[in-house]
Chains A and B, each alone.
Chain A
Amino acid sequence: MNRRWLWLIAAALLVIAAAWLVRIPEPRAPLTRPEVEMPRQLRPQERERMLSRLRPPAVDAGVRRNEVRDPMLAALSAGGSGSGVVLEINALRNSPLGELLLQCLAAREGRGNALEALQRMGIDPLRDVDRVGITEHGVVVSGDFRRANWEGLLGSPTGTRYGDQGQITTVDPRREGGATLVATRWGDTLLHLGDSVEDGRRVLDTVEGRVPVPQPLLTPEQSYGELYGVVSGADLARTLGGSEPWAAALVEAASKVELHLDARRDVALVADVSGDDARKLEDLGKSLGGALALARAQARAGGDEEAAELLSFAKVSPSHGSELSVEVALPLEVVARRLAFCRGDADAGR
Chain B
Amino acid sequence: MTSFAVALDLLREAAARRWFLALGLALTALLMLLLTSLRLEVVDGALAASRLFGQPLHHSIQAADVALRPVFRVASQIVFWGGLVFGVLSCADFGPALLSPGRIEHLLSLPVRRWELLAGTFLGVLALALAGAVYASAGLVLVLGAKTGVWTGWPVVSAVFAAVAFGSVYAGMLAVTVWVRSAALSAAAGASLVVLGLLATHRIALLDLMGQGIGRALFAGVTAVVPPLGKLADAAGALASSAPLAPGGLLRLLAGTVAFAAALLAVAMWRFDRRDF
Known: A4-B273, A15-B263, A27-B246. A289 touches B256 (CB 8 A): no
Cβ-based interface call for B18 (8 A): no
A268-317 CB contacts (< 8 Å) to partner B: 285-294, 296-297, 311-312, 314-317
Cβ-based interface call for B174 (8 A): no
Known: A11-B266, A28-B244, A30-B243. A290 touches B45 (CB 8 A): yes
**Residue of A whose beta carbon sits closest to that of B58:** A318
With both chains docked as a complex, state the minimum distance between the C-beta of B205 and any C-beta of chain A, in angstroms: 13
Residue numbers in A under 8 Å from B209 (CB-CB): none
Q: B273's contact among A7, A18, A20, A311, by CB below 8 Å, is which?
A: A7
Does A292 lie within 8 Å of B252, measured CB to CB?
Answer: no
Residue numbers in A under 8 Å from B195 (CB-CB): none
Total number of B residues with any Cβ neighbor in A under 8 Å: 47
Cβ-based interface call for A14 (8 A): yes
Cβ-based interface call for B106 (8 A): no
Cβ-based interface call for B30 (8 A): no
**Per-residue CB proximity of A20-33 to B under 8 Å, as 1/0?**
11111111101100
Cβ-based interface call for B270 (8 A): yes
Q: How far is the CA of A63 from the CA of B252 in the complex (A)?
A: 71
**Residue of A whose beta carbon sits closest to that of B56:** A318
Cβ-based interface call for B259 (8 A): yes
**Residue of B whose beta carbon sits closest to that of A10:** B266
Looking at B6-14, B182-190, B224-232, the stretch in contact with chain A turns out to be B224-232
Residue numbers in A under 8 Å from B99 (CB-CB): none
Q: How far is the CA of A21 from the CA of B238 in the complex (A)?
A: 20
Cβ-based interface call for B66 (8 A): yes
Does B263 lie within 8 Å of A289, measured CB to CB?
Answer: no
Residue numbers in B under 8 Å from A11 (CB-CB): 263-264, 266-267, 270
Main secondary structure of the interface of B (DSSP, over half): helix
**Per-residue CB proximity of B15-47 to A under 8 Å, as 1/0?**
000000000000000000000000001011111
Q: How far is the CA of A24 from the CA of B274 in the complex (A)?
A: 36
Known: A286-B61, A314-B62. A7 touches B266 (CB 8 A): yes
Does B44 lie within 8 Å of A19, measured CB to CB?
Answer: no
Does A18 lie within 8 Å of B259, measured CB to CB?
Answer: yes
Does B266 lie within 8 Å of A297, measured CB to CB?
Answer: no
Residue numbers in B under 8 Å from A30 (CB-CB): 238, 243-244
Does B253 lie within 8 Å of A21, measured CB to CB?
Answer: yes
A: interface residue count bin: 35 or more
Does B249 lie within 8 Å of A24, measured CB to CB?
Answer: yes
Q: A18's contact among B46, B47, B66, B263, by CB below 8 Å, is which?
A: B263
Q: How far is the CA of A125 from the CA of B272 in the complex (A)?
A: 85
Does A285 lie within 8 Å of B257, measured CB to CB?
Answer: no
Cβ-based interface call for B127 (8 A): no
Residue with the highest number of chain B CB atoms closer than 10 Å, among A10, A19, A316 = A19
With both chains docked as a complex, state the minimum distance between the C-beta of A300 and any C-beta of chain B, in angstroms: 10
Q: How far is the CA of A12 from the CA of B49 in the complex (A)?
A: 55
Known: A14-B266, A27-B249, A294-B44. A285 touches B61 (CB 8 A): yes
Does B245 lie within 8 Å of A28, measured CB to CB?
Answer: yes
Does B252 lie within 8 Å of A24, measured CB to CB?
Answer: yes
A196-226 CB contacts (< 8 Å) to partner B: none
Residue numbers in A under 8 Å from B63 (CB-CB): 289, 292-293, 296-297, 311-312, 314
Does A286 lie within 8 Å of B43, measured CB to CB?
Answer: yes
**Per-residue CB proximity of B209-229 to A under 8 Å, as 1/0?**
000000000000000110110
Residue numbers in B under 8 Å from A1 (CB-CB): none
Q: B255's contact among A21, A31, A318, by CB below 8 Å, is which?
A: A21
Residue numbers in B under 8 Å from A287 (CB-CB): 43-44
**30 pairs of residues in contact across A and B, judged by CB atoms under 8 Å:** A4-B273, A7-B266, A8-B270, A10-B262, A11-B263, A11-B266, A12-B263, A14-B259, A14-B263, A15-B259, A17-B259, A21-B256, A22-B200, A22-B228, A24-B231, A24-B249, A24-B252, A28-B244, A285-B61, A286-B49, A286-B61, A289-B47, A289-B63, A292-B62, A293-B46, A293-B62, A294-B45, A297-B63, A314-B62, A316-B61
Interface positions of A (Cβ within 8 A of B): 3-5, 7-8, 10-12, 14-15, 17-28, 30-31, 285-294, 296-297, 311-312, 314-318
Known pairs A286-B41, A293-B64 / 16 extra A-B pairs, C-beta < 8 Å: A4-B274, A8-B266, A10-B263, A10-B266, A12-B263, A15-B259, A18-B225, A21-B252, A22-B252, A24-B231, A287-B44, A289-B47, A289-B61, A289-B63, A292-B62, A316-B61
